[in-house]
Structure 1
Amino acid sequence: MEWLSRVFSSGPVPVQSQPETAAAESKHVVEDRSIDEKRPLRVLVIGAGISGILSCIRFRQRVQNLEICIYDKNEDIGGTWFENRYPGCACDIPAHTYQATFEPNKEWSSFYASAPEIHKYWKHVVEKYGCMDYIKLKQEVTSATWDDKRSKWKLEIRDLESGSTYKDEGNIVIQGTGSLNNWKWPQIPGLHDFKGKLLHSARWDEKYDYSKGKRVAVIGNGSSGIQIVPGILPKVTHIDHYMRSRTWVSPTFARDHIEKHGKGEDNFHFSAEDIEGFKANHEEYQKFRKGVELELQSIHGATLNGHPMQVGAQEAFIENMKRRLAKKPELIGDLIPSFPPACRRLTPGPGYLEALTNEKVEIVRSEINKVDETGIITADGQHRPVDAIVCATGFDTTCTPRFPIRGRNGRLLSERWRKTPETYISVATDGFPNYFISLGPNAALGEGNLLLLIEKEIDYFTECAQKIQRDNIRSMAPRTDAVHRFTQYCDEYFKGTVFGGNCRSWYKGGTEDGRIIALWPGSSLHAMKVFKQPRWEDFDYEYVNDNPFGWIGDGWTDNEKNNKINVDYLDDDQIEFPALGET
């Protein structure tokens, strides 16, 4: 074997040069790469919220020979949970399901964790997994352009501290800015003539003191308004709560678990004993966590028209709301909608219905005509003076990108989505290669676990990156027919759901009867199955050197070239032993 050792000690034997004619004929057939060589990839992520953080962790964990950079316009990480600081801001699903699967937090102080506590949790995750080395804050992406000749994305970025602009480029772009990010003022005449304090739920001024005898108007009864009213009620003198439409307030999720571990329905905090118990007994914690998750994942039938669960849900909602409005039963008629539950986003709204029964709160159903310097004038002719106006009126939910994104042939994504924001299973669109969207159009959930969905989307993106490396691909984009098929599937699916009811909802871009552009067409568990195994046949590919067979390389593996050959494939833990036949 000495002769063999001598050969291998000097590295692989170089391939003999071919005649010029033969080399020309074999061009793009035998690539100068090992079959398992991981070519360099640079991934650019826009947004350092949950999607950006998970991308930073999972890409570094799973994709070799990687450069990754995450840009965010804010001065800190966290996205939604950094930006939203209004009183009462909290997650409206149980905290123990709203966390990374690989980093469970046994110390949540409340069943519905507050925004500051959620932000603190993600700061911990970022620090623990070393993400800040890859995140650039106060850096606003102002444009993204695909360079077809070089198969690269070119980003323009503005440094918000210096005002200077610069460029970056990468092989893959991940849009992680979310769908509820671009807040807007409501279109109310005279709104900005108001001389008192004007606040928006998404840009709350934490320095404003609303506790000193203030009369406050809260406009909107979506999820933010439902949290703000009980959040400010203890400190203000009076609240005028303007409701454009009626809304359902759901029963508390996993109520049995709250009553066992919390302090009753009006207090959702965990005791110190419970927290210490979770920390000391992992098995008990897992039992609790999985019990809450099971309940959260078991209500899909309530979104389907005519399903027994949907019919039963409406009855349960009415009984729940009547019970919580017992001090003012006359409010039931002002609140119960004609559309079915879940047509709009559901929230259990701890304390909200109870707040509406408080003498300090007046519900105003009359339309707002205009705002003047001192207050609000409604269609019934009344003028209600206030010290502050809170606009809990939401975001631009049309899916229009906040900055120009240009794909093949310079086409703008806003133009591609002008009629309807079409995607392939919510994560990509045709004509925009190597561009992936976390929580894009038709990605949100009407029920189920959103955090799991985000994780599965990021897993999907890492698989796409691995395929790009493995198959020597320079660009991949969903086929146009696959995008159209998903659009058709969504439209057909939603015909049988409560989401198409006659309600104004951000699910439909803020309209009453528009196309459902926000929600996933199925359950949370259904989405997880879809993202588990990519259908590579639904994509078009372009290859390095235009060589579709370049993936097979030059006949070598990396380990052979580097004299690191091993035969671990013969180890017992590497062999898949078949089951024995029955005797």
Structure 2
Amino acid sequence: MPVSDNRPFSKVIVIGAGFSGLAMACQLQRKLNCDDYTIYDRSAAPGGAWWANKYPGCAVDIPAVFYSLSFAPNPDFSKVFPPQAEILEYFNGVAKKFDVSRHIVSNTEWEGAYWQEKSKIWLVKLKDLLTGGIFYQECQVLVSAVGGLVNPNLFNLPGVETFQGDIIHTARWKENISFQQKDVIVVGNGCSAAQLVPAISNEAKSVTQFIRTPQHYLHNENIQVSDTWRFIFRHMPIALWILRVVVFLYLEGTAARFNMDANGIKARKASADRSEAYIKRTAPEKYWPLLIPKFEIGCKRRVFDTTKYIGCLQQDNIHLTDDPIVGVQPHSILTQSGQEHSADTILLATGFSLTQYDVELIGRDGRTREDHWDEYGYKEAYKSIAMSGFPNFFYILGPNSGKGHTSTIYSIENYVDLVVTAITPVIKEHSSFVEVKPDSERLYNERLHESITKTVFNTSCGSVSHFYNFFACLRKRVDQEMQYFIDQKSQKNWFIYPWSSFAMWYSTHWDRADDWVYDVSSPKLSNNMQSLTKFSSRPNLAKRNGCSELVSQH
């Protein structure tokens, strides 16, 4: 493989140009006045999941007033849950407003990163996807803003190469495709499928949907935002801020249902009962067994039925089945029961392969990320952002950053703020590196997993143990999907953040600051020791005796 010219040094390299990368870039500029950064993304354009997912019906399922950056409010969303195009337009508008776009390099894939102990820098390996060329770039701080919704699950069934029509994943949508007078197969029944099926149901000749496991579907209305309200939001920003707070508090009020105490059990049962009642009054009775799950609500992501998916199942041209697919023919698919279904197009709403941590990452003393996690026995990071032995490396939405009830953007902003606080001495050239202390990392994870056991997200949740083999010959794939919440080596949940959003904000803004190690060996740092006590607004920093507890010789 050709090696192209290496790129000049960049103070910060961010991998991923989705909302995590955008927020990180904006705060580098807003809070640190740092313009020396580069964002690499494998896609042809920025936007992350909102650029990749262009399928019909795609929309956000969190009210957009809260699915937006706090420092960049948008008064112009047309609906409470606007479509993908509006979210992407908002994203690009923020990138333009904060002059982030010129820092983004598209069609470039991250292939590895290697810590250079002598120079205290990262050597990052990248691949130009247009030319196939490999190049390297050095940086002082490396941030992984890579999301999990990157690589679609494969559809490797016998005969798939013989199929004469289109096979399209929702995250690899083919523009200008027509379903007129076509028999369409939809594989999957999660959030994407619930949006896709109603959007194509009136166009297609038939839609046959193959499901793997039931979901908890909740009735949801998508209210149009009137011109009057948009005018108010535009000219009275305080009104938009108040609405954002109201939505935040409402969503946060639903978090208690995930606890294993009596109140949580009662709240989960009430939600499950509402979901079941909605299905029974809306869907055909013959589909009730396929739509009403046996596992507890919260074990899988709830599906908010904004697009009226359940109601559209009443249409004569829509068919729902859990008969596993076992093979593909040129114009049809075969099922385990021996049935053959005509197929002109196969649409895959099968989710994603969780490969965001597969890239080679080698820290101090040649230890890999896998070595580090093998030592713990599971995927982990201190406060979801950092690992000891990997100086100046950070995650946005790393292990145990997921929340099942509120906006991912809220989590992104909190983690970005914590990363910005941690790297401030490095960016200001008061330190050559920052690294989390091993004891702090281990203590945090012990507390985290102790708290997870008190929620429905513990190993007894069965979030995926209730899955059965959707494709008869793909047992291995299903087993891999079981790792979505539960790490198979340790049976620990590596995905969920178990505490409240208030706790997340506190721990990323006002919690302990002596969990970090800073390099003080450089003469420049020695002459600027006092400035390190000012890098955070946290009050407990000022109480320390100089910097002796905040900064230690590595």
TM-score calculated relative to the size of structure 1 = 0.80
Q: Secondary structure at the match of 2:175?
A: coil
Contact 1:185 1:391 in 2 (8 A): no
Residue 540 (structure 1) shift: 3.5
Instruction: State which drifts further: 363-372 or 195-204.
Output: 363-372
Contact 2:485 2:493 in 1 (8 A): no
Instruction: State which drifts further: 425-434 or 304-313.
Output: 304-313
The 1-side partners of 2:148 and 2:423 are apart by 24
Q: What whole-Å deviation, never above 9, does each CA across 1:170-202 have from its counterpart, x for those lacking one?
A: 110010111222222144333333222101111
Which residue number corresponds to residue 395 of structure 1?
352
Which residue number corresponds to residue 537 of structure 2?
none
1:553 equivalent to 2:542? Answer: no
> Relative to 1, partners in 2 of residues 1:382 and 1:518: Cα closer, same or farther, differing over 3 Å?
same
Partner residue of 1:354 out of 305, 311, 318? 311
Counterpart mapping for 1:106-117 below 5 A? 106-117=75-86
Contact 2:184 2:343 in 1 (8 A): yes
Which residue number corresponds to residue 416 of structure 2?
458
The 2-side partners of 1:491 and 1:111 are apart by 35
The 1-side partners of 2:218 and 2:447 are apart by 29
The 1-side partners of 2:449 and 2:257 are apart by 19
1:333 equivalent to 2:289? Answer: yes
1:538 equivalent to 2:515? Answer: yes
> Relative to 1, partners in 2 of residues 1:398 and 1:518: Cα closer, same or farther, differing over 3 Å?
farther
Q: Secondary structure at the match of 2:37?
A: strand
Residue 482 (structure 1) shift: 2.8
Counterpart mapping for 1:235-274 below 5 A? 235-252=203-220, 265=221, 267-274=222-229
AA paired with 2:395? I
> Relative to 1, partners in 2 of residues 1:247 and 1:286: Cα closer, same or farther, differing over 3 Å?
same
Residue 141 (structure 1) shift: 2.4
Instruction: State which drifts further: 308-317 or 404-413.
Output: 308-317
The 2-side partners of 1:395 and 1:248 are apart by 20
Which residue number corresponds to residue 294 of structure 1?
249
The 1-side partners of 2:354 and 2:296 are apart by 22
> Relative to 1, partners in 2 of residues 1:162 and 1:398: Cα closer, same or farther, differing over 3 Å?
closer
AA paired with 1:451? I
1:410 equivalent to 2:366? Answer: yes
Contact 2:279 2:288 in 1 (8 A): no
Residue 391 (structure 1) shift: 1.4
Residue 162 (structure 1) shift: 3.5
Which residue number corresponds to residue 262 of structure 1?
none
> Relative to 1, partners in 2 of residues 1:498 and 1:188: Cα closer, same or farther, differing over 3 Å?
farther
> Relative to 1, partners in 2 of residues 1:283 and 1:174: Cα closer, same or farther, differing over 3 Å?
closer
Partner residue of 2:273 out of 318, 334, 345? 318
Q: Secondary structure at the match of 2:277?
A: helix
Which residue number corresponds to residue 25 of structure 2?
56
Q: Secondary structure at the match of 1:526?
A: helix
Structure of greater relative contact order (alpha carbons < 8 Å, 6+ residues apart): 1
Q: Secondary structure at the match of 1:452?
A: helix
AA paired with 1:479? K
Which residue number corresponds to residue 456 of structure 2?
498
Which residue number corresponds to residue 215 of structure 1?
183
1:489 equivalent to 2:466? Answer: no
Residue 399 (structure 1) shift: 4.8
Residue 283 (structure 1) shift: 4.4
The 2-side partners of 1:511 and 1:341 are apart by 17
Q: What whole-Å deviation, never above 9, does each CA across 1:260-316 have from its counterpart, x for those lacking one?
A: xxxxx3x53323333234334444434433322221121111111244254234323
AA paired with 1:466? T
AA paired with 2:463? C
Q: What whole-Å deviation, never above 9, does each CA across 1:450-478 have from its counterpart, x for those lacking one?
A: 21211111111111111335683222222
Q: Secondary structure at the match of 1:446?
A: coil
Residue 348 (structure 1) shift: 0.6
The 2-side partners of 1:555 and 1:454 are apart by 31
Contact 1:299 1:309 in 2 (8 A): no
Structure 2 residues not aligned, in runs of 5+: 1-8, 466-480, 532-554
Structure 1 residues not aligned, in runs of 5+: 1-39, 253-264, 558-583
Partner residue of 2:112 out of 118, 131, 143? 143
Which residue number corresponds to residue 125 of structure 2?
156
AA paired with 2:313? L
AA paired with 2:254? I
Instruction: State which drifts further: 172-181 or 468-477.
Output: 468-477
Residue 245 (structure 1) shift: 0.8
TM-score calculated relative to the size of structure 2 = 0.84
Which residue number corresponds to residue 335 of structure 2?
378
The 2-side partners of 1:511 and 1:138 are apart by 32
Which residue number corresponds to residue 122 of structure 1?
91
The 2-side partners of 1:171 and 1:395 are apart by 31
Residue 236 (structure 1) shift: 1.1
The 2-side partners of 1:372 and 1:346 are apart by 34
> Relative to 1, partners in 2 of residues 1:397 and 1:41: Cα closer, same or farther, differing over 3 Å?
closer
Which residue number corresponds to residue 509 of structure 1?
484
1:467 equivalent to 2:425? Answer: yes
The alignment covers a number of residue pairs equal to 500
Q: What whole-Å deviation, never above 9, does each CA across 1:421-445 have from its counterpart, x for those lacking one?
A: 1211111112211100001111111
AA paired with 1:342? G
Partner residue of 1:229 out of 182, 192, 197? 197
Q: Secondary structure at the match of 1:474?
A: coil
AA paired with 2:208? D
Q: Secondary structure at the match of 1:104?
A: coil
1:169 equivalent to 2:131? Answer: no
> Relative to 1, partners in 2 of residues 1:337 and 1:320: Cα closer, same or farther, differing over 3 Å?
closer
1:364 equivalent to 2:364? Answer: no
Q: What whole-Å deviation, never above 9, does each CA across 1:313-356 have from its counterpart, x for those lacking one?
A: 43234334433542524433321111111110123121121122
Partner residue of 1:429 out of 387, 411, 420? 387
